[in-house]
Amino acid sequence: MDRWRPWLLLAPALIVVGGLLLWPLVRVVLFSLQDYGLREIVSGETNYNGFENYAEVLGSPTLWRVVLPNTVGFAVLAVFGTVVLGTLVALLLQSLGRFWRPVVASAIMAAWAMPAVTGTYVWVWIFDADRGIVNQLLIGAGLMDEPYNWFTNRWSFYAIVLLNVIHHGFPFVAVTVLAGLLGVPKETLEAASLDGANAWRRFWNITVPQLSQVFAVVIILSTIWDFKVFSQVYLMPGGGGTNREVLNLGVWSYVESFGQNRYGFGSAIAVLLTVLLLIVSVVYVRRLLKEDEL
């Protein structure tokens, strides 16, 4: 009986979480196995077609030429940039005194507290083709003769999205890594310094191994967030489906579901995105556990 007591205490919360998270996921999977559109919504009937939606998704040139490269390439760069910048800011915060540390930490947390929608419109205004600060500065400096629309090009579009996502995400990494840095024993670092280790070697050989669990958390969470980026892409000019070259998995699923009323096809895309996230997370966690065993 004692062995089951914790599960009995957790049962109400697990039931609520299961109802809020698992049931919608099950419904998406069921929709992905149907040719589900407006007619099925109105009639309430089911129209199962097996794995035809998945076959169409996997056989689509858009997936392999546009959507998957945009999703994976952007996620890799965003996670790398967010973790690197967040770690550098955490090291800066660690070096500050008791007065400036909370001041600077509060300032950077303002970027994290800003809603994604608000932050996206700020970046759209900065790079606006007519009144954007970037175009005005470049024209004023004589580097451009006329305004340039940064949102029509696939690479410049995602460069802006990358700046947006890194700016919004690095405070979380910074504060999390800072908490880990403050837990590293100072005696170990001082002993390494006496042995002649410079700051880089102390950080790489002592600090990083002790923060492996912290880095695992921030990398996994950043990967999940950056793989399923939606607002930062959809709200950009052309990101809502008018420019097919900038689609990622999240926006493609939304456009096919609510723009084309192909809810079964869009659900299949969403399921594939979820599977991709699970694979990435499981591979990284297993690699981390193997490193801890060595």
The pair phi, psi for residue 106, each rounded to 5°, is -65, -35
DSSP class of residue 197 equals: -
Rounded to whole angstroms, the Cα distance separating 230 from 254 reads: 9
What pLDDT shows up at residue 292?
A: 59
Q: 């999240």: which residue's tokens?
A: 250
pLDDT score for 110? 81
pLDDT at 291: 60
Two structure tokens written together for 31: 């929709």
67 vs 55: CA distance, rounded Å: 16
Return the number of other C-beta atoms located less than 10 Å from residue 63's C-beta: 19
Where is 7: in which H helix or E strand?
helix 5-17
Sign of the alpha-carbon torsion through 184, 188, 189, 190: positive
Do the Cβ atoms of 224 and 206 come closer than 8 Å? no
**Can you tell me the distance from the alpha carbon of 259 to that of 152, in angstroms, rounded to the nearest whole number?**
21
Distance, CA of 288 to CA of 290 (rounded, Å): 5
* Segments making up each domain of the chain, as ranges: 62-293
What is the SS3 assignment for 146? Answer: coil
**pLDDT score for 159:** 95
Q: For position 293, what pLDDT does the model report?
A: 56
Q: Which long-range contacts does 183-192 make (Cβ < 8 Å, 24+ apart)?
A: 183/210, 184/210, 184/211
Distance separating alpha carbons of residues 143 and 1, to the nearest angstrom? 75
**Which pLDDT belongs to residue 145?**
83
Alpha-carbon gap, residue 95 to 118, rounded angstroms: 32
Please tell me the predicted confidence (pLDDT) of residue 74.
95
| pLDDT per 10-residue tile (average), the chain, 294 residues | 80 85 88 88 84 92 93 94 93 85 85 87 91 88 86 94 94 90 78 74 80 86 89 92 91 91 92 88 74 56
Spatial CA neighbour of 256 closest among 271, 241, 239: 241
Tokens matching residue 277: 């996230």
User: Which residues lie below 8 Å from residue 117, measured CB to CB, with a gap of 6+?
Assistant: 231, 235
- Domain spanning 62-293: CATH 1.10.3720.10: yes
In angstroms, the CA 172 to CA 83 distance is: 9
